[in-house]
Every structure is written in C-alpha cells, then in structure tokens.
C-alpha cells in the first residue's frame, strides 16, 4: 500500500510533511479513470489515490485498481452519497477531490495544495477559467453563472465557479461538513457551507478540457440544474430563514394593503363595510404576513444556534498550520 502523499514546500521549517488523499468519484468512467489516476500519481508522487465506484456497469473499478488506486464502492446512487462516504471513511490532512472524467488538469494539484497551506485556507476551488466551447457548452456556462450569481446574492461573494468539481480541502473542513446532498448539488452545498460560516477559501484558475471520445457526461443540464436550484432554495430556508420569510412577509403585507385599502376608505367615508369578503381576505393576508415574519425571526434564532454549533465543531479541529507545526515538532523528537 502506498503511503499518503508527503507534500514538501519551499519553507520546510514552517510546513512539515502533510498527508494528502486524492478522492475520485467514479461512475462508468472506463475511458478516463486510468488516465486520471496516472496523472494524479505523477502530479502527487506517492499519493494515496482513492476511487469510489458508484455502481458502474463497465469495468471502471477493475481498471482503476490496475492503475494503482485504492478502489471502494458506494451502493447508493448519486455523487452526493459517494462524497459523503469518502469524507466519512478517509483520514488525511488535505483532501483533493476531482471528477474522474478526465476534464480537469491534475498537474495543478500541487499548486492548489500550496495555496491552501501558504494562506491557511480550508478550501481552494479549481475554477474553470480556460475551457474550449466543446468542453464547456454555452448552456452549462449560463447555468453556472446564473446559479453562482444567485448564491453570491444570497450567501455572499467569494466564488465565480461554484459548480467546479475540482477542490482541495483541509481536514477540519471535511470533518466538520454536515453534508445532506445526494447528487450533483454537492458542490453547491460545499460552497454555501464555506460562505455561511465565512471559512477561509479561495479560487485558482485551472484548465478544463473536453471529454475524450467514447466518454459521456453524466450531467443532465435541465434536470440537474433544477435540482441545484432546488438545493439553493432549501439552503435559503435553512441558512437564511429571515431573508426568505421577510420576502414573503412583504408580499403578503402589500397584498393585504392593496385588498384592504378600498374597504378601509369606504368605511371611513360611509361607516359601513359592504365588501365583507374583501375585508376578510385582507385580514387573513395580514395575519399570514405577520405569522411569516415571526416564523422567520424564530427560525433565524434556531439557525444562529446551529451555525454556532457547526463553528464550534470546526474550531475543535486543528488547522493546516497547526498540523504542520505538530508534525515538525514530532520529527524533531524522533
């Protein structure tokens, strides 16, 4: 069995050897998995590369094992389930997660890791800055821009390529990430988690190339885009409830005013309420409006407590700098 990657940087006194694991989710990637494992082996010599097979109907897992990767399986179908299993099973100081479809540049992995360590970050996203039209269709570009802009508006800025499948993460990020996603929306959840807790993160441009001939994408543009949009709305309810319920409050409040204003004006003028249904409707809308407002306030308090608990769990784990110092001290005593 190969030892986990020992990453050595120019400032060896500050950055001791760190353990790195490469995580490759895989579903029917027989055309690319051997190449991807080989490229990461060359980029990160001695790396312990894990390929998690997700019910492939081809010989992906056999080829990956033959290429030198440690192959494991996840029976529940969906990338989110695979990532959840990988994060739970594997221990390392730094995690490199990448799709096994051969579209990302494995040679930049050391650069992404060095950026993570040098700046003490918890996540570095390989943003797809250089891509041909065939590799990155216009529909995918628009969907990524729209969904990323939506997340930036709601949860804060910091990422231009939210849906990139190429990420380098610290141990404390991975082990404190309360994942719930099941499919391709996993990248959205990772991004929102970092933004919500204001964790130190960054992007670095990477090359993105077209799939090799014979390899087919598992991404379904419209269905998976709808799933990601639904995930954003669910996360909005969970992480920004006051934002959501305040919006509904104002909608109901102004609807109640528009419905009730003529009734009130007529009552002031004549002293009677001839349009009783309108009055009842306006009253009901106003009651619902304030119910939404108070629900938002209560859920916001609950969310704040959940975020504090997640933050405390995150702070219980050592940072990359702390791990490197401990490793350096341990090596001095040995």
**For position 217, which CATH number holds?**
3.90.550.10
Q: Are residues 228 and 250 in the same domain?
A: no
Residue 332 lies in a domain: no
Q: How far apart are CA 310 and CA 313, in angstroms?
A: 5
- Distances in whole angstroms, Cα of residue 25 to Cα of each of 94, 221, 227: 17, 19, 19
Q: How far apart are CA 271 and CA 274, in angstroms?
A: 10
Q: Are residues 65 and 152 in the same domain?
A: yes
Residue 183 lies in a domain: yes
What pTM does this model have?
0.82
- Domain end, chosen from 201, 218, 239, is at 239
- The mean of the pLDDT values for the chain is 86
- Domain end, chosen from 239, 258, 277, is at 239
Q: Which residues pair with 216 in a beta bridge?
A: none
Q: Are residues 217 and 314 in the same domain?
A: no
Residues listed for the chain: 334
pLDDT mean over 58-87:
92
| Residue-level pLDDT at 176 | 93
Nearest to 174 by CA among 198, 192, 190: 190
Sign of CA dihedral 196, 115, 109, 141: positive
Helix or strand holding residue 126 (H, E) = strand 123-131
Q: How far apart are CA 85 and CA 75, in angstroms?
A: 10
Name the DSSP class of 45. T
Residue 334 lies in a domain: no
Residue pair 224/146 in contact by the 8 Å Cβ criterion: no
Structural domain including 322 reads 241-327
Residue 323 lies in a domain: yes
- Distances in whole angstroms, Cα of residue 165 to Cα of each of 17, 25, 150, 230, 295: 26, 10, 19, 19, 36
Q: Are residues 184 and 64 in the same domain?
A: yes
Q: Are residues 228 and 263 in the same domain?
A: no
Number of domains forming the structure of the chain:
2
pLDDT mean over 193-221:
82
Q: Are residues 263 and 299 in the same domain?
A: yes
Q: Is the pLDDT of residue 156 over 90?
A: no
Q: Are residues 50 and 144 in the same domain?
A: yes
Q: What percent of the chain has pLDDT over 70?
A: 89
Q: How far apart are CA 32 and CA 213, in angstroms?
A: 10
Sign of CA dihedral 36, 38, 44, 48: positive
Q: How far apart are CA 216 and CA 101, in angstroms?
A: 9
Task: Show the tokens assigned to 145.
Answer: 């821009």
214 Cβ neighbours under 8 A, 6+ residues apart = 31
Q: Is the pLDDT of residue 15 over 60?
A: no
pLDDT mean over 31-60:
91
Residue 309 lies in a domain: yes
- Domain end, chosen from 239, 269, 295, is at 239
Residue 39 lies in a domain: yes
Q: Are residues 262 and 305 in the same domain?
A: yes
From the number of C-beta atoms within 10 Å of its C-beta (0-12, 13-18, 19+), residue 112 rates as buried
Q: Are residues 35 and 146 in the same domain?
A: yes
Q: Are residues 274 and 133 in the same domain?
A: no
Residue pair 152/159 in contact by the 8 Å Cβ criterion: yes
Q: Is the pLDDT of residue 12 over 50?
A: no
Q: Are residues 232 and 160 in the same domain?
A: yes
Residue 283 lies in a domain: yes
- The string of pLDDT tens digits covering residues 308-320 is 999 999 999 988 8
Q: Are residues 232 and 295 in the same domain?
A: no
Residue 191 lies in a domain: yes
């Amino acid at each position: 069995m190969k030892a986990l990657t020992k990453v050595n940087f120019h400032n060896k006194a500050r950055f001791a050897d760190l353990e790195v694991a490469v995580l490759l989710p895989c579903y029917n990637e027989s055309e690319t998995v051997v190449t991807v494992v080989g490229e990461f082996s060359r980029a990160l010599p001695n790396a312990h590369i894990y390929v998690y097979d997700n019910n492939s109907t081809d010989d992906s897992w056999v080829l990956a094992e033959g290429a030198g990767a440690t192959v494991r399986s996840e029976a529940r179908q969906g990338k989110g389930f695979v990532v959840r299993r990988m994060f739970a099973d594997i221990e390392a100081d730094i995690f490199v997660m990448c799709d096994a479809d051969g579209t990302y540049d494995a040679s930049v992995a050391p650069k992404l890791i060095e950026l993570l360590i040098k700046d003490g970050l918890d996540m570095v996203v390989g943003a797809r800055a250089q891509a041909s039209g065939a590799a990155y269709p216009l529909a995918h570009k628009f969907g990524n821009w729209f969904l990323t802009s939506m997340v930036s508006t709601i949860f804060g800025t910091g990422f231009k390529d939210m849906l990139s499948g190429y990420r380098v993460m610290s141990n404390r990020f991975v082990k404190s990430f309360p994942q719930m996603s099941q499919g391709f929306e996993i990248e959205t959840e990772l991004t929102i988690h970092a933004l919500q807790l204001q964790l130190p993160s960054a992007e670095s441009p990477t090359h993105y190339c077209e799939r090799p001939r014979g390899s087919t994408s598992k991404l379904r543009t419209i269905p998976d885009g709808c799933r990601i949009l639904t995930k954003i709305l669910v996360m909005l309810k969970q992480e920004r409830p006051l934002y959501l319920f305040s919006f509904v409050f104002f909608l109901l409040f102004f609807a109640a005013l528009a419905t009730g204003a003529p009734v009130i004006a007529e009552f002031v003028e004549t002293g009677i309420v001839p349009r009783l249904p309108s009055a009842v409707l306006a009253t009901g809308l106003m009651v619902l409006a304030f119910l939404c407002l108070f629900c938002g306030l209560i859920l916001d308090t609950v969310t704040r407590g959940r975020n504090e608990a997640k933050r405390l769990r995150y702070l219980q784990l050592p940072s990359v700098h702390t791990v490197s110092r401990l490793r350096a001290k341990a090596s001095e005593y040995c």
